[in-house]
Structure formats: structure tokens, C-alpha cells
Chains A and B, each alone.
Chain A
Amino acid sequence: MLTVPRVTPLPYLRCLYPLILLLSALSGRAAPAPDLPTAWNDIADSKAKLALVKLGRADTSDRAVQLARATASLDDQPVSDGDLRRAEATFAQLAQGHDELAEQAAYLQARVWQIHLAQPDYARAAELYRALAERNPRSHWAQLGLVKLALVQLYALPDPADPAARLAGAAALLSRVTEPTLQRDLQLQLGQAGIFYKQPLPSIIAHLVAADRIGGTPGAAGEDLILQIGELSLRAGDYATSRAYFERYLRDYEVNPRCFTVKEKLQQIAAHEAAAKGGRP
């Protein structure tokens, strides 16, 4: 288990705390407010322990501080289910508001049920994603929640048992996801789920092509996507699409070792096309 040294003052300095409190009371000043931007920077940097030290433990009505503390506690290793349930309660309370902070809290509340707890409750997570999307359909966090809801529907919920029905249920969310990058991510996942559940190739390819049209798929997945469309189109007998994507791959990724296979595939396409025309390859 990871251990990060907790930054605490030397024990014998604790005896000065009452004096500090007395002096601050006499001077009429409240304890300094937590440095929120620095704490968020620490959380973004995977330094949850450091962030929690900066945020302090004093009771506060500041919702931003409450959100920061609960968020940091999700990554303050070792995390117990008790810690997670306390964080979930805070998120649930903060989610009652009517601002972006409330949307972020509602999103995190669903995430706790979906992937943080040792025994996830996917039905509860799905319910919370749906509630968030109904309350604030245009909020980014609601939109992101819909993508996560699709994943839960595709792979985690017990029903429906029929893969095609699962896919149809998740695909129905597409019309509610309006942010292009999230629309792309959902299209891509619908395509991948179609492959996983061995669905007909045309429907898989349609989702993958839709994801590619939006563009910007990050990392190696973007490269894989071009090959997938090329190869699956070849298997579906759509040689024109297959050729276009394989040729694009050779242009965009000329140094990848898979180029050898792609060139072989282009020769196969040429042979198929020649055969279709009644000629010889």
C-alpha cells in the first residue's frame, strides 16, 4: 500500500495551539481561509494528502471547501468504504444546490456508487446519473454522466439480457448528449460494445465512422479507430471505405509496424475489386 508522509507540525508544537487560538481571538481575526486553488492544484497533481492538510479540518459552511475535502478524500490512500460513504454523504448534500458545484457533487456521488466502493451499486449509480441529466440536461457533468450511464447499461446492469437491447438502450442516450467530444466518446463506445457483443458489422461501422467524423480521439485509440474502420469495412465487403481508411492510415502513421499488414490488406482489396470486375487480380 502507498504511504505518503503526513505533513504535520512537530508534536511538541501542539502545546502552542491554545496560545495561537487565544492570540487570534484577541486580535479579532478568524483563522485564515484554506488556500483553495493550491489545494485543487494538489488534487490535480495526485497529492490528496497535501491538499487535505491545506484544507484543514475546521467546520465550515463554505461549500467549495466541503467539495474539495470530499473530492480529495476519494484519492487519500488508503481509502476505506467508510471514507467513501462519508464523502458520498457530503456529495449528496452539496448536490442539493443549484450551481456547477452542485452538478460536480452529483456527478461524483454517482461515481462513488459506480467505481469507488468495493461493492459497487450500479443501479444506484444509474439512477443518480439519470437524475442529474433530468435536472440539468445541458450541464457538462450531466452530459458526462450520460456517457457513464451508457457504459453501465452496456456492461454492468443485469437487464436487459439481450445484447441488442442493451445497445439500443445505450444508443437512445445519443440524442441527449450534445457536447461533440462526449458525443464522439459515446459513438466510439457503442461501436466497441457492438464488437464485444458480436453485432452486425454495418451498425458497428456506423458508430465508429460517426466517432471518427467528430475527430480528436485521444492517444493510440485514434490510431486503432482508423484501422478498425478499414478492417471491419473490408470484412463487410465495403472495399471503398476500407481502402480510404487504410490509405489514410499509411499517410498518418507511416512509421507504425502495422503498415506492413495494412499494405497487405490493400493488396487484398485490389484483388477483391479486380475479381468483382471479372478481371484478374
Chain B
Amino acid sequence: MRFAKRGWIGLGIIIGGYLVAAGWVWTHSAPLIPDRPVTIRIAHWQVEAGPPDGMDAVIKRYEQLNPRVRVLQQLIPGIVYKQWMRTNLASGSGADIIEWGAWLEGVRDVPARYFEPVTEALGQPNPYNKGTVLEKTPWQKTFKDNLQGSRNDSPDPGQIFGVTMTECSVRLFCNRQLLREATGSEHVPQTFDEMRKIFLQLDAYSQRTGHRVMGIAGAKDNAEWLLQYLLMDTTLGLNFSIDDSGMLSMYNRQVLAAYLDGRWNWSRPEVRAGLELLRDVGRHMKPGFLQLQRDEATREFLAGDALFIFTGTWDATSLKRLASFEVGALRFPQPAKDDPIAGPYLIGRFQDGGGVTAMAMHLTKNSAHKAEALDFMRFMTSLEGQQLFTDGSGWLPATLEVKIPPAIQSFVSPLDGYTMCQPYSIIGSTVTMEFERNLHLLLGQNGSVDRYVAELDRVMPAAVRADLQTEVSSTLITLRAQDARMIAQARLSGPTQEGIYHAGQRALMESGQTLAEATTMQMMRQLKTAGPAE
């Protein structure tokens, strides 16, 4: 009897649990029968405040125009994005449109394997631009940079895989109210030296009020971005001097190869000057900032405990929405030629962002609804789609002729500087890791430029070799796969329209492969023959 009673209780718990689970699934899952015939999904990692709202606005309008299609936005946090992308694409269950970037380590082979080139469509006008000034402009030419980033990152030179949504720059965000209180003026720093003077005024303000206010909100991420920025400034002349190819810009592999050739090292005065500038600014970040992540710097700035925060415009919407004060976005003041630290190495202003568009979206090869997905890509990058995205996200548009709201006008960087710059701290993942791992030798309590560069020059030869080797390995994966695809295109070639298309694809792939193969073989030879150390 007692056993039977306990059995009924157990059964009741099981049934209850089942009903709760069923109710949860019923109310929280997608409808069993889709409300529209076609559903497409777009996935990206821009989970900051702004972009999801902008994309929602684009989707809402698109669904009005296309009642057959439902568009779902998938927000995937950056920390798991690569794993998510790899797993979903390999299993064939990836979203129809996916964000990808060439700097994501370990997924360089993804475009060639899983994305569909959109080159042909880009040669035609975007139908969603009908009735606008871009009506007759080929889709590719409607982007501010003609998709330069997507062209550079393409595994098949000649093919374009991604269309972009925005343009980013880095800015010095300012708490204007605090600036007035601390300096008695609304004047923002125009030069590096003026910024130094404001930092001194801030120290006096802190002593006067008893409220300790730092010059710049501190965190490891923000310090690294700042270091990249400052190094770009001081190493501009060095970069021009090692540009053997005459491209007036340097690819990462070229900077790495020049290091192996002994053309530069971290002890170079230009590099040391950049590091010295960071130490100069680092003194105005709170102690221990190297242990903190970017969220902590944002919190410090929003709490009014720091006058400035140095970050990309990708954080701008979050800052503006969450701040209880007016936030100004300034171009970071670049040192002038009379600067005691950087002056001797400066050759002119460098380009602080802008010019190259980003947030590249790609069409998945396995999409069950390629035509609809491509159509949505056209809409989201059309004049109307980009206006909706810009207004909703607070991010700059990638498309020409979009009206930029006054609130974000200051994010636009005029093309008024050199672009040769190469951030020496991010030229390869192992190099970056060593750079970051040893940053305490520069910015820690007993840190110095001497200690930092001595350690970097000790560990970097191996790190540079590792990064070049990674570059070789990942390119070889793409090259090998292309052999099979090229022969397949040749076998499918013929006099029909489809056959002619395949012949064109084969020719394009052959030229692209030769370009990439030659570069890879150069790197292999470099690794085999060049110093300074194994």
C-alpha cells in the first residue's frame, strides 16, 4: 500500500514535469506551421547596443515588402561565434546569411568551403535602389569602398563573397559635463600636447574635489587599441621604408617577412616611441587596469570616474544610451612634429578609420532559400535598408548617399591621412598573444620600454615564424581544395550558357589560385631561408 502511494506520487511528478516542459516548448518554440512559406536566418556577432535594433528595422520593412518571407535574426556572442559557425556550417544547419571576418583565427577556410560568391550579382544594379540616385549604379559601386575589404579577404581573388553593413573608426569619447567641471571650458583637445595638459588639470580637479577622476578609462582591451593606434602613428615612416612591393600598404605577411629579414624589430626607435606614448597615456588610467576587461572601462566612464574612453564606434551606441551625461566623440589627437617623444618619427597624419567598410555578410552555399537570402542582402545594403539600419543602430552606413544622423556625424573620418599603417601588435595571432602577455613589462608598476622591447625581441622571432607558418597552412587548405574545384568547373564547361559560366569560373579560379600560391611559396621560402633566428 505504502509502495503504491509512493509510486503514484512519483508518477504525478513525472506527469507534472512533462506538462511543464510541454507548456514551455509550446509557448517558447517556433510555431509548428510557419506563418510564411519561406524563412531565412541571418546570424552575426554584433550584440552591442544598436546593431540588433537596426537589423530589426531592416527586417520589419523587408517583411512588409515581401509577405512570403520571414527573416529571423540570430545574435551569437563573439566568444562562441567561431565554434558556432564551424559546427553549424559543417552540419549543414547554418544560417542563410552569416557574418565572417578574415581576422577570425581558425576559420579562414570557411568562405571557400561554405559561402557562395556574389560577384555576378554585384555587377548588376541593386533593384531595391530603383527610384534613387543609385538606381543605375552596379551594386558593388554603391558601397563607399567598392567592397575593398571583401576583395582583399577573398580566398579566390576575383570573387567577392561578402557585402558590408557599416564603417567603423576609433574615437576618443568624452564626458563633456566632466570636462567643463574639471577645466572650466568645453574646449576639447586638438593636439596630443593639449590632451596632456587636460590630464594635469584633471589631477588638480581630483585633489580639489576629493573625487578621483582618471584621464582615460582603463582596461586591457582599450590599452591595446590605443597601443595599435599610437604605433600606427610613429611607425608610418618605417612602413614606407619596408614597402618593397610598392603597394603603398602592407599586408600582415609582408610585415612579418620584413621582420624575419631583419628589416625592423621592436627596439627600433619608431616602435619605442609608440610604446613610450602609451606609457605616457597609461599613467592616466587607473592602477591595475591591465587586469580589467573592456566592460569595466565602460563602467568606469559611465560612472563619471574617467574623463575619456578610447574605443571604436562599435561601442558608441552603448555609451550614448547608457550615459547620464552628454558624450562627445572626438578624433584622437595625433602627436605633432614638435612632440618630444614621437616628433622625430612622424611623417604626417595617418588615417584613423573610415575608408573600408565592415560587418561583412555572406550567403551560405547550403541555404535552402538562396534566392530569398540574396534578395534580403540586396535590401539590407540598399539605400532604404541602410538608412533604416543607420537610424536604428547608431552605426555608420556602408552604402553611399545614406543620410548620416547629426549624432554620429563625428564618427566619419575624412580621407585625410596615410593608410600605409600596420598595427604592429596585431600582425598575427601568436605575435598578438606575446604582445599582450608581456604588456605588464611596459605598463606595470616596474615596467619600462627597455624591459618590454628586450622581452619582445627575445620571444618574437619564434612567434613571427609561427604566424607565417599558420598563414601558409591556412592558405594551403584553400589552394588544395581549389584543384578539385577547377577540374570540376572544366568538366562542366561547354557551349551552353551554364557551360560558359563554368568556364569563366574556372579561369577566374586559376588566376586567383596562382596569385595566392605564389604568395604562399614566397612565405615558405622566407621561412626556409630568412633569419634572424629559428
For window 107-145 of A, CB contacts with B under 8 Å fall at 107-108, 111, 115-116, 144
Stretch touching chain A among B17-25, B142-150, B389-397, B430-438: B142-150
Which of the listed residues B145, B154, B515 has the most CB atoms from chain A within 10 Å of its own CB? B515
For window 60-86 of B, CB contacts with A under 8 Å fall at 86
Q: Does A185 contact B (CB under 8 A)?
A: yes
A231-251 vs B, CB cutoff 8 Å, 1 = contact: the mask equals: 110010000000000000000
Q: Does B489 contact A (CB under 8 A)?
A: yes
Question: Distance in Å from the Cβ of B95 to the closest Cβ of chain A?
Answer: 18
Bound form: Cα–Cα A67–B490 in Å: 12
Bound form: Cα–Cα A219–B225 in Å: 30
Q: Does A2 contact B (CB under 8 A)?
A: yes
- Residues in chain B near residue A104, CB distance under 8 A: 487, 490-491
- Residues in chain B near residue A75, CB distance under 8 A: 480-481, 483-485
Q: Does A278 contact B (CB under 8 A)?
A: no
Bound form: Cα–Cα A232–B243 in Å: 10
- Residues in chain B near residue A74, CB distance under 8 A: 480, 483-484
Which of the listed residues A155, A230, A231 has the most CB atoms from chain B within 10 Å of its own CB? A155
A147 near B152 (CB under 8 angstroms)? no
Question: Distance in Å from the Cβ of A239 to the closest Cβ of chain B?
Answer: 15
Stretch touching chain B among A16-24, A26-34, A54-62, A190-198: A190-198
For window 154-174 of B, CB contacts with A under 8 Å fall at 154, 156-159
CB-based A-B contact count at 8 angstroms: 180
A43 near B246 (CB under 8 angstroms)? no
B249 near A258 (CB under 8 angstroms)? yes
- Residues in chain B near residue A151, CB distance under 8 A: 514, 517-518, 521
Bound form: Cα–Cα A2–B89 in Å: 10
Return the contact of B492 from the options A41, A115, A219, A227 (Cβ within 8 A).
A41
Q: Does A261 contact B (CB under 8 A)?
A: yes
Question: Distance in Å from the Cβ of A126 to the closest Cβ of chain B?
Answer: 13
Interface size class, chain B: 35 or more
B491 near A235 (CB under 8 angstroms)? no
Interface size on A, residues (CB 8 A): 70
Q: Does A178 contact B (CB under 8 A)?
A: no
B524 near A116 (CB under 8 angstroms)? no
- Residues in chain B near residue A5, CB distance under 8 A: 91-92
Q: Does A168 contact B (CB under 8 A)?
A: no
A41 near B487 (CB under 8 angstroms)? no
Q: Does B245 contact A (CB under 8 A)?
A: yes
Q: Does A95 contact B (CB under 8 A)?
A: no
A261 near B248 (CB under 8 angstroms)? yes
Q: A41-B492, A256-B148 are in contact. Are A46 and B157 (CB under 8 A)?
A: no
A-contacting residues of B (Cβ < 8 Å)? 86, 90-92, 112-114, 144-146, 148, 151-152, 154, 156-159, 243-249, 348, 351, 354-356, 365, 415-420, 476, 479-481, 483-485, 487-492, 502, 505, 507-508, 510-512, 514-515, 517-518, 521-522, 524-525
